[in-house]
Amino acid sequence: MLEASFLNLSDRRPAEGAVSVWPAWEVRDGAGATTWFGVRLEFGDGARVDAHAVLAKGCVSIEDVRAEPALSLDDLAALADWIEDPLFDACGIGVAPEGVEAEGGEADGDDPRPGWPRGAEGRWLVAQKYREAQEQGVDPVLAVMRATGYGRRKSLRLIGEARDAGFLTRRRARR
């Protein structure tokens, strides 16, 4: 039986815990899909955290968290650091696109964002991913997000830069 009143994630090391992530269920609609994942963080002393994560429109959010022993608010904030990489791997977010090697990450894998070419090459690749998604009838912004590993704002900025460079047509006629 555990004697601690709180889990104290900030006092634990990554080697002490094991994170597992599995797809729980998926709901499809005309615009795409929403997928739920089960997440478990277990420690050798019997402490554990169970959570449900949701992937919708390229964003991951945590819906439900249960822990034994209980989590403090500080532990709840630290939980993201423990589960982020395995959860993003299971969701397919932050995976390096084909033919592009990750750069600038630390050797121990602390930076899950893939390397994305800068300058004209990067803008051209963004335009390619955008057009491919349009042809396939899927959300082009989400396709760019998946390819680059960046969030919505950064991906929209990259798409805007590709438009400014002439790789994509303007969205609206200027008056």
DSSP sequence for 52-120: EEEEETTEEEEEEEEEESPPPHHHHHHHHHHHHHHHHHHHT-SPPPTT----S--TTS---PPP---HH
Residue written as token pair 């704002």: 153
21 and 38 in contact (C-beta within 8 Å)? yes
* Residues 125 and 84 occupy one common structural domain: no
Residue 32 within a domain? yes
* Residues 80 and 141 occupy one common structural domain: no
Residue 139 within a domain? yes
Which uninterrupted H or E stretch holds 17? strand 17-29
Residue 47 within a domain? yes
Mean pLDDT of each 10-residue bin along the chain, 175 residues long: 66 80 83 85 88 84 89 83 82 55 42 66 90 89 86 87 87 63
* Residues 134 and 81 occupy one common structural domain: no
The residue range of the domain holding 135 is: 119-164
Could you tell me the CA-to-CA distances from 171 to 2, 108, 151, 166 in Å, in that order? 59, 41, 21, 12
Q: What is the pLDDT of residue 127?
A: 92
* Residues 134 and 83 occupy one common structural domain: no
Q: Report how far Cα 44 is from the mean position of its chain's Cα atoms.
A: 27
Q: What is the pLDDT of residue 66?
A: 92
* Residues 87 and 123 occupy one common structural domain: no
Residue 35 within a domain? yes
Residue 101 within a domain? no
* Residues 71 and 126 occupy one common structural domain: no
* Residues 80 and 18 occupy one common structural domain: yes
Residue 2 within a domain? no
* Residues 81 and 16 occupy one common structural domain: yes
Picking from 38, 72, 91, the residue at the C-terminal end of a domain is 91
* Residues 70 and 14 occupy one common structural domain: yes
Residue 174 within a domain? no
pTM over 0.85: no
Q: What is the pLDDT of residue 130?
A: 93
* Residues 24 and 73 occupy one common structural domain: yes
| Domains identified in the chain, total number | 2
Residue 136 within a domain? yes
* Residues 125 and 86 occupy one common structural domain: no
* Residues 21 and 75 occupy one common structural domain: yes
